[in-house]
Amino acid sequence: MSVEASLPVPGTRRSWWLQEALASEGSATEAPPLAGDVSADVAVIGGGYTGMWAAYFLTERLPGARIVLLEEDICGGGPSGRNGGFVHGWWESVPYLVGQYGEEAALAIAREADEVVDGIGAWCTLHDVDAWYVKSGYARVNAFPDEADDWDGTVARLAELGEHGQLLPMDATAVQRICASPAFGSGLWMPGAASIQPARLARGLRRVLLERGVTIHETTRARSLSGDGPLRIPTAGGTVTAEHAVLAINAWASGWPGFRSRVLAWGSYMVVTEPIPDRLAEIGWTGDELLSDSRFTISYFRTTRDGRIAFGAGVGAAGFDGRIGRTFTHDEHAVARVVANFRHLLPMLADVRFEDAWGGPIDITGHRFPEIGSSHGGRVHFAHGFAGNGAGPSRLAGRILAALVDGGNDPVARLPFVGRRQPFLPPEPFRFVGARIVRGALIREDDALDAGRRPSWLVRGLARLPALLGYKLGR
Ligand SMILES: Cc1cc2nc3c(=O)[nH]c(=O)nc-3n(C[C@H](O)[C@H](O)[C@H](O)COP(=O)(O)OP(=O)(O)OC[C@H]3O[C@@H](n4cnc5c(N)ncnc54)[C@H](O)[C@@H]3O)c2cc1C
Q: How far is the CA of 279 from the centre of ligand 1 (A)?
A: 32
**pLDDT (tens digit per residue) in 205-246:** 999 999 999 999 999 999 999 988 899 999 999 999 999 999
Half-sphere exposure in the Cβ direction for 156 (13 Å, CA): 5
8 A C-beta contact, residue 22 and residue 14? yes
50 ligand 1 Cβ < 6 A: yes
Residue with the larger pLDDT of the pair 34 and 157: 34
Largest CA distance in the chain: 64
Average the pLDDT over 29-58 and give the result: 97
Q: What atom in ligand 1 is closest to the CA of residue 387?
A: 19
Q: How far is the CA of 283 from the centre of ligand 1 (A)?
A: 32
Average the pLDDT over 319-325 and give the result: 93
Q: How far is the CA of 18 from the centre of ligand 1 (A)?
A: 13
8 A C-beta contact, residue 351 and residue 284? no
Average the pLDDT over 277-304 and give the result: 95
Report the predicted TM-score, pTM, of the whole model to 2 decimal places: 0.97
| HEC per residue, 138-203 | EEEECCCCCCCCCCHHHHHHHHHCCCCCCCEEECHHHHHHHCCCCCCCCEEEECCCEECCHHHHHH
Q: What atom in ligand 1 is closest to the CA of residue 81?
A: 29
71 ligand 1 Cβ < 6 A: yes
8 A C-beta contact, residue 44 and residue 51? yes
**pLDDT (tens digit per residue) in 29-42:** 899 999 999 999 99
pLDDT for 475: 65
- Tally of residues, the chain: 475
Residue nearest to atom 32 of ligand 1 (CA): 249
d(Cα 316, Cα 336) in Å, to the nearest integer? 11
- Please tell me what DSSP assigns to residue 437: H
* H or E segment and range at residue 302: strand 299-303
**pLDDT (tens digit per residue) in 163-201:** 989 999 999 999 999 999 999 999 999 999 999 999 999
* H or E segment and range at residue 104: helix 103-126
Mutate to test the pocket of ligand 1, among 132, 249, 297 (most ligand atoms within 8 A of CB): 249
Quick check: helix, strand or coil at residue 382? strand
Mutate to test the pocket of ligand 1, among 250, 268, 269, 271 (most ligand atoms within 8 A of CB): 250
362 ligand 1 Cβ < 6 A: yes
Query: What mean pLDDT value characterizes the chain?
Result: 94
Q: What atom in ligand 1 is closest to the CA of residue 397?
A: 26
Mention every residue, 6+ apart, whose C-beta is less than 8 A from residue 216.
Answer: 31, 47, 68, 69, 71, 75, 206, 209, 210
d(Cα 51, Cα 406) in Å, to the nearest integer? 15
Q: What atom in ligand 1 is closest to the CA of residue 223?
A: 41
Residue nearest to atom 35 of ligand 1 (CA): 46
Quick check: helix, strand or coil at residue 381? strand
- Please tell me what DSSP assigns to residue 351: T
- Please tell me what DSSP assigns to residue 424: P
Average the pLDDT over 64-84 and give the result: 98
- 44-69 as b/e: b if 16+ CB within 10 A: bbbbbbbbbbbbbbbbeebeebbbbb
User: CA 439, 359, 32 angle in degrees (round to 5)?
Assistant: 135
pLDDT for 389: 95
